[in-house]
Chains A and B, each alone.
Chain A
């Protein structure tokens, strides 16, 4: 390829990529600029009374959740891939289902189950006359927070690690078996080292979710970094200090992401052929079989069956008051806005991922890093930046309308465009990561062959690249769609007039202390997400076979 050709190619892909990057940089800049602004008198107070406790709590939650999700996610992935036990095929996808329950919904459901009027204590009291010590049933603690995060976030690690083990580890594990290593030995000396990239990728997703969570810690009254941002912003009315906290959080997240990239960067896993030989599960003998089955069932029950059953019961309790004609409108709003935003995100992600892949340079490396930045920007900061931008935009439109003497103007802020725009900034990283790893897996050899045989990049993109990463595109779609459906802070902040989603509806009921009424909206979110997970699993499975 000569220089001219490169230059010409850069134009189309590069311009679109830069455009997308610009969107993401914008709120990031708003936050980072504030980091260097002089401190005010509140900052002193925050440093003295709040920061030590907030930092301690946040670090504890991160460490404990990271550790527990790793243990649970990795062990489940290992059992499901390597051994055969009753209902293995069912658990293979069912273990992803807890991802369908947003942690804040899990949090209020578990609190509802365990508190004084919850089903457990009520049964003990009314049937057996036992009144228990409340502290044993108290979930609104820092340990309870870790419990909730672990239950509903471990699937990130499980999914990524399982896919890796299933596709890439067969030869190594089989060789180790032939060489006479025992299962434990293989797990610690072979599986953990070779899948560390996948595990770390999963853990970094978990940690970012934890850092940015607002619903769980707010409901439980645990003081963490993200509650600090909001209480400084809303409580102390100090936007400047709030943005400083947000900036600090952002740097922390960027550090996590960079670490993940460093670990991943050194190793490139790509298929030598399109057919990979998956690992054949080995039947378990004796009590091992039941021990594994019991372990897997217990995790699944606690992380999905129990909360789901409780939500169902509450839904029946309140169905008549909560289910109105407007409820369909909520469902439609949720699906519509999530669908549009997801499609836009995937288009951007495909363009950027293809661009950075085909034209590797320092610049594209920067672009690739920046793309994942949106995930690191606290929701509050995205909201401020987006509103500021649209105020400016509406102002310009108004000026134009005046100049043209139009009686009516168009106000962007009263439309869904603003909200969708914010979703794109927030979730582009998720779509991009899946698609990028899809591209990484297929490598460049097929694309290069296609180019050699005379198709240009665009023809190759549509006829070779996209069909090859169909699976990755679909999982990206589903991940992003589910995330948007669950999203809370941005939706609350940027919703236009007469617009609610299932998530905001559930949250409104919960914040009015009407837990039972929130169940219907919650369960619809869970069912729709669950269905998507099921469909994607079936399709991906078929593809793998």
Chain B
């Protein structure tokens, strides 16, 4: 007898705790299964407080509740891969066109036909089939030590492989998406062989084994480990506005140089938004996409991270304006995804850690 009670008791305890677990998330998730509920579900790899404020503002204006899973791009993408058509996500927000391309290739996205999106977002920052839309853009530039390098000495990404920069170039490891996309763009602009030569040449000129993140490259330049670093523009913005005085000091000793102005243009990437093919709340999702492309949202969304807004009617942040305008690589950003695998292979082959 007793044994049965124990078994019963244990199963009861298990059930109760499981029910308790789901009941507590019930308020936000119970109605996601139905078609006409007033929600939109977002997988986002951005984690800024401003995003939350914008979602809240959207909720107030439209009455549509925004549910968010924040994660890293890779994980969210893999989650979409696994969930396939049964995903609960309506929208996917992520950095790097390479990631958006992957989602499209895997068949997770659907085209969105919206005049508002098309007028707010220039064609080169949209997918050719309108399956994804850029929201912000960032440039991958060369930063240099104001003490030791004159901007006149700098010209192109390719020039960094020359003898002059031997042992002076700093860049982060190759597993990073920004580097993969950078090389992917070179494969498009210069061809596979030249891109590989460039990677080989750069490895040869590195000041140290690649390590750390973009900010670490900036610090290493100021510390004198190297003279120039390849990094994204917004990290300069973040460092100049850091709570940490020392980080500010570092950034103030660095200059920003937009390479390849006379040739192929500076590498630009985006963060963007896309609607999932399996979306159950397509109307709400489209409303949120349009909302994000509007000038008022664009301004906040871009400036919090010192990025350039894609909507051309919106001025970038003052700091970005102070760096001046620049010529961008003239490629459709889809190629960053198309050449991704090739880029990873090249990195492995030339021994870029």
Partner of A493, one of B10, B25, B71: B71
A-B contact count (CB 8 A): 186
Q: Are B69 and A496 in touch, CB under 8 angstroms?
A: yes
Tell me how far the C-beta of A461 lies from the nearest C-beta in chain B, rounded to whole angstroms: 7
**A134-B223, A340-B20, A417-B22 known; A456 and B2 CB under 8 Å?**
yes
B348 CB within 8 Å of chain A: yes
Q: Are A458 and B6 in touch, CB under 8 angstroms?
A: yes
A40 CB within 8 Å of chain B: no
**A413-B88, A493-B78 known; A16 and B7 CB under 8 Å?**
yes
Q: Are B83 and A413 in touch, CB under 8 angstroms?
A: yes
Q: Are B18 and A417 in touch, CB under 8 angstroms?
A: yes
Interface string of B244-260 (1 = CB under 8 A from A): 10110110000000000
Bound-state CA distance A459–B1 (Å) is 10
Tell me how far the C-beta of A279 lies from the nearest C-beta in chain B, rounded to whole angstroms: 39
Beta-carbon contacts under 8 Å, B229-267 to A:
235, 238, 242-244, 246-247, 249-250
Interface string of B51-89 (1 = CB under 8 A from A): 000000000000000011111101101110111101010
Chain B residues, CB < 8 A from A174: none
Q: Are A411 and B69 in touch, CB under 8 angstroms?
A: no
Q: Are B344 and A236 in touch, CB under 8 angstroms?
A: yes
B128 CB within 8 Å of chain A: no
Q: Are A416 and B22 in touch, CB under 8 angstroms?
A: yes
Q: Are B235 and A117 in touch, CB under 8 angstroms?
A: no
Partner of B211, one of A140, A415, A457: A140
**A131-B224, A416-B21 known; A12 and B6 CB under 8 Å?**
yes
Q: Are A223 and B353 in touch, CB under 8 angstroms?
A: yes
**A16-B7, A221-B173, A411-B88 known; A511 and B21 CB under 8 Å?**
no
Partner of A498, one of B2, B3, B28: B28
Bound-state CA distance A516–B74 (Å) is 24
Chain A residues, CB < 8 A from B77: 234
A500 CB within 8 Å of chain B: yes
Interface string of B336-353 (1 = CB under 8 A from A): 000001001100110001
Chain B residues, CB < 8 A from A461: 6
B190 CB within 8 Å of chain A: no
Q: Are B243 and A496 in touch, CB under 8 angstroms?
A: no
Bound-state CA distance A351–B47 (Å) is 42
Q: Are B71 and A492 in touch, CB under 8 angstroms?
A: yes
B33 CB within 8 Å of chain A: yes
**A45-B348, A391-B82, A458-B6 known; A513 and B244 CB under 8 Å?**
no
**A134-B225, A415-B21 known; A234 and B10 CB under 8 Å?**
no
Bound-state CA distance A128–B179 (Å) is 38
Q: Are A513 and B238 in touch, CB under 8 angstroms?
A: yes
B164 CB within 8 Å of chain A: no
Beta-carbon contacts under 8 Å, A446-462 to B:
456-459, 461-462
Interface string of A489-501 (1 = CB under 8 A from B): 0001101111110
Chain B residues, CB < 8 A from A50: 348
**Which stretch from B109-117, B133-141, B143-151, B214-222 is at the chain A interface?**
B214-222
Bound-state CA distance A414–B220 (Å) is 44
Chain B residues, CB < 8 A from A513: 213-215, 235, 238
B319 CB within 8 Å of chain A: no
User: How many A residues are at the interface, by size bracket?
Assistant: 35 or more
**A50-B348, A231-B175, A234-B77 known; A221 and B71 CB under 8 Å?**
no
Tell me how far the C-beta of A415 lies from the nearest C-beta in chain B, rounded to whole angstroms: 4
Partner of B250, one of A12, A116, A511: A116
Q: Are B71 and A117 in touch, CB under 8 angstroms?
A: no
Tell me how far the C-beta of B80 lies from the nearest C-beta in chain A, rounded to whole angstroms: 11
Q: Are B79 and A134 in touch, CB under 8 angstroms?
A: no
Q: Are A497 and B68 in touch, CB under 8 angstroms?
A: yes
User: Can you spell out 8 A-B residue pairs with CB atoms less than 8 angstroms apart?
Assistant: A16-B7, A49-B348, A116-B219, A122-B246, A234-B74, A235-B175, A351-B10, A410-B30
Chain B interface residues toward A at CB < 8 A: 2-7, 10, 13-14, 17-18, 20-22, 24-25, 28-34, 41, 47, 49, 67-72, 74-75, 77-79, 81-84, 86, 88, 102, 172-173, 175, 180, 208, 210-216, 219-220, 222-225, 235, 238, 242-244, 246-247, 249-250, 341, 344-345, 348-349, 353
Chain A interface residues toward B at CB < 8 A: 12, 16, 45, 49-50, 111, 115-117, 121-122, 131, 134-135, 138, 140-141, 220-221, 223, 227, 230-231, 233-237, 239, 317-318, 321, 324, 336-337, 340, 343-344, 347, 351, 384, 387-388, 391, 394-395, 398, 407-411, 413-417, 420, 456-459, 461-462, 492-493, 495-500, 504, 508-509, 511-514, 516
17 A-B pairs besides A239-B81, A498-B69, A516-B242 with CB distance below 8 A are: A117-B250, A134-B225, A138-B211, A220-B211, A231-B175, A233-B78, A336-B21, A340-B20, A398-B33, A408-B30, A408-B33, A414-B29, A414-B32, A417-B18, A497-B28, A497-B69, A498-B67
